[in-house]
């Protein structure tokens, strides 16, 4: 984490309409009384569209709580949490669910694929939830799987795939509904170096894949994995429920000592080069 030294406050990335995520004074406490845990203690954060932001910090610092609130799966106790201008606190449960389905795609550490569904069915689920006819949903799921180089495994069950392949399925599932925000929770934690690189390339491409202003998306990655820091536009470090530091892309590029997948674990292709 030595790369995170330059800036000690979270910088407002942009203003107005270009913001994907806007948090103001967000707090969250679990439990009550003497057993209460203050997961977030007044967090302010802004994330631009097209940005790939990584949240880092020790276990229990509030990273997961923060992305849960950003993505609308958890409510804040106080403060304002907006996603693409929508204040989650102004929506009822039903509306939150619908908006979440529309705006957010998830990639989990443990993939969270439904084991009894084939991978094409897993990928089609977000579309089915949104009312797309099954035939069309499967076609689009097949296209999404092809794009993550799993077009020939559409009938396979998740258990028949390697960890890296399952994570690619999860990415295809996260992207198939064209969400504006992709939330990745430790996406490379269960993967080897090369596979992690492939997955991060995909995620990075995702953030860049839409250029039109109205459909640009951003990616928030929660990670402990220092090997993937170079993929970030910005790294935000958390500690004890607060944002501690932020590190910009420029600073990252200068931080030559940050290890990369390529340095640590060359891909087979690269390894074979003379």
Partner 1 sequence: MRLPLRADCGWAKGDSGANALGGMYKIALRMLLRDRGKYLALVCGLSFATLLIAQQGSIFLGLVLRSTGVLQNVGQPDLWVVDPSTRYILETRPVGEQFVGRVRSVPGVAWAEPMFSNYANVEFADGTFKRVQLIGIDRTTLIGQPPEMVEGSLEDLRAPDTVLVEESSRPKLNNAKIGDVLRLNDKRAVIVGFCRAKLGFESNAIVYTTFDNAVRFTPVGRERVTFILVGVKPDADRTAVAADIRKFTGLGAFTPEEMSRRTIGFILYETGIGINFGITVLLGFVVGLAVTAAIFYQFTLENLRHFAVLKAMGTRNSVLVRMVLLQAGVVGMIGFGIGCGPAGIFTILGRKPGAELAPYFPWQLLALTLVGMMICIGLGSLLSLRRVITLEPAVVFK
Measured distance CA(86)–CA(180) in Å, rounded: 12
Q: Is 133 helix (H, G, I), strand (E, B) or coil?
A: coil
State which residue, 140 or 258, has the beta carbon closest to partner 1: 140
Determine, following the binding rule CB under 8 A, whether residue 40 of this chain makes contact with partner 1. no
The tokens for 22 are 């806007």
Phi, psi of 11 (to 5 degrees): -90, 140
Determine, following the binding rule CB under 8 A, whether residue 33 of this chain makes contact with partner 1. no
Determine, following the binding rule CB under 8 A, whether residue 115 of this chain makes contact with partner 1. yes
Return the residue of 80, 86, 98, 262 that touches partner 1, per CB under 8 A.
Answer: 98
CA dihedral 141, 142, 147, 153 (to 10 degrees): 120
Which part of the chain contacts partner 1 (CB under 8 A), choosing from 9-17, 176-184, 242-250, 263-271?
A: 176-184
CB 221 within 8 A of CB 232: yes
Task: Mark 46-68 as b/e (b = at least 16 C-beta within 10 Å).
Answer: bbbbbbbbbbbbeeebbbbbbbb
First to last CA, the chain: 33
Determine, following the binding rule CB under 8 A, whether residue 130 of this chain makes contact with partner 1. yes
- The helix (H) or strand (E) run that includes residue 139 is helix 134-147
Determine, following the binding rule CB under 8 A, whether residue 37 of this chain makes contact with partner 1. no
For the CB of residue 15, give the shortest distance to partner 1 in the complex, in Å: 26
In terms of Cα–Cα distance, which of 256, 262, 186, 260 is closest to 3? Answer: 256
Return the residue of 57, 62, 126, 158 that touches partner 1, per CB under 8 A.
Answer: 126
Determine, following the binding rule CB under 8 A, whether residue 172 of this chain makes contact with partner 1. yes
Return the residue of 53, 55, 127, 228 that touches partner 1, per CB under 8 A.
Answer: 127
Report CA Rg, the chain: 19
Return the residue of 1, 80, 86, 129 that touches partner 1, per CB under 8 A.
Answer: 129
Q: Using CB under 8 A as the criterion, which residues of the chain lie in contact with partner 1 when the complex forms?
A: 64, 67-68, 71, 73-74, 93-94, 97-98, 100-102, 106, 108, 112, 114-117, 121, 124-134, 136-137, 140, 143-144, 146-148, 172, 175-178, 185, 201-202, 205-206, 209, 215
């Amino acid at each position: 984490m030595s790369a995170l030294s330059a800036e000690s406050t979270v910088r407002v990335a942009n203003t107005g309409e270009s913001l994907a995520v806007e948090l103001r004074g967000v707090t969250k406490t679990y439990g009550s009384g003497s057993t209460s845990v203050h997961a977030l203690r007044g967090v302010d954060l802004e994330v631009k569209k097209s940005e790939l932001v990584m949240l880092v910090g020790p276990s229990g610092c509030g990273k997961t709580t923060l992305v849960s609130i950003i993505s609308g799966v958890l409510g804040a106790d106080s403060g304002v949490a907006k996603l693409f201008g929508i204040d989650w606190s102004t929506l009822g449960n039903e509306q939150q669910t619908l908006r979440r389905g529309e705006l957010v795609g998830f990639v989990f550490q443990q993939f969270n694929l439904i084991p009894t569904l084939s991978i094409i069915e897993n990928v089609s689920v977000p579309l089915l939830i949104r009312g797309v006819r099954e035939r069309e949903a499967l076609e689009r799921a097949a296209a999404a799987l092809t794009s993550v180089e799993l077009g020939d495994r559409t009938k396979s069950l998740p258990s028949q795939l390697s960890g890296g392949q399952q994570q690619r399925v999860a990415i295809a599932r996260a992207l198939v509904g064209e969400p504006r925000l992709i939330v990745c929770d430790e996406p490379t934690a269960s993967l080897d170096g090369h596979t992690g690189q492939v997955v991060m390339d995909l995620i990075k491409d995702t953030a860049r894949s839409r250029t039109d202003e109205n459909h640009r998306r951003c990616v928030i990655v929660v990670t402990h994995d220092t090997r993937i820091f170079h993929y970030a536009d910005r790294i935000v470090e958390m500690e004890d429920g607060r944002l501690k530091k932020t590190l910009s892309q420029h600073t990252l590029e200068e931080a030559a000592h940050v290890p990369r997948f390529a340095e640590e674990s060359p891909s087979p292709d690269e390894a074979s080069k003379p």
